A = this chain, B = another copy of it.
Amino acid sequence: MTNEEKFEITDSEWEVMRVVWTRTKATSKEIINVLQDKKDWKPATTKTFIGRLVKKGALNTETVGNKFIYTAAVTEEESLKSLKAGLFNHICNTAVGKTIADLIKEATLSHDDIAMIEEILKSKKKDAVDVIVCNCVPGQCHCKENHNMNCH
């Protein structure tokens, strides 16, 4: 039924998911080993996060003997979407462009990256708008401040 249960993945849980996404299939021992190195977590700590991810449906389990093989029930792309939303939920629609620009300014990019982004930008011109409509409530951004209906 593909029921769209929405669950959030916490920062720590992301660490676990990244291991599973990378390997496609992983045992708890593999996950524990990676994160023992990276995060200095005791095995029990990693086990807790694995357990929580299984409970919330982010990881599937295949039983093999007495142990499990874990696979991801959500894709990385899908999960990234929430992360990205987290960023833009806090700013005015009209500030999205500038925020992306800032992101680029602060990023280390390869020539290929830049070429790719330029490509995307070019294709974006087709559906670009003239004025972006502010989505904020009055009092939380300057757009709705007084009689001036234009943003910034």
Contact = CB atoms under 8 A, between A and B. Distances in A.
Interface in A59-79: none
Count this chain's copies in the assembly.
2
Looking at A89, A100, A142, which has the most chain B CB atoms within 10 Å of its CB? A100
A140 B22 contact: yes
Contacts of A98: 113, 116
Interface string A31-66: 001100110000000000000000000000000000
B111 A132 contact: no
B139 A30 contact: yes
Contacts of A34: 137-140
A129 B110 contact: yes
A87 B83 CA distance: 6
A94 to B, nearest CB: 8
Interface of A: 11, 14-15, 18-19, 22-23, 30, 33-34, 37-38, 80, 83-84, 86-87, 89-91, 93, 96-114, 116-118, 120-121, 124-125, 128-132, 136-142, 145
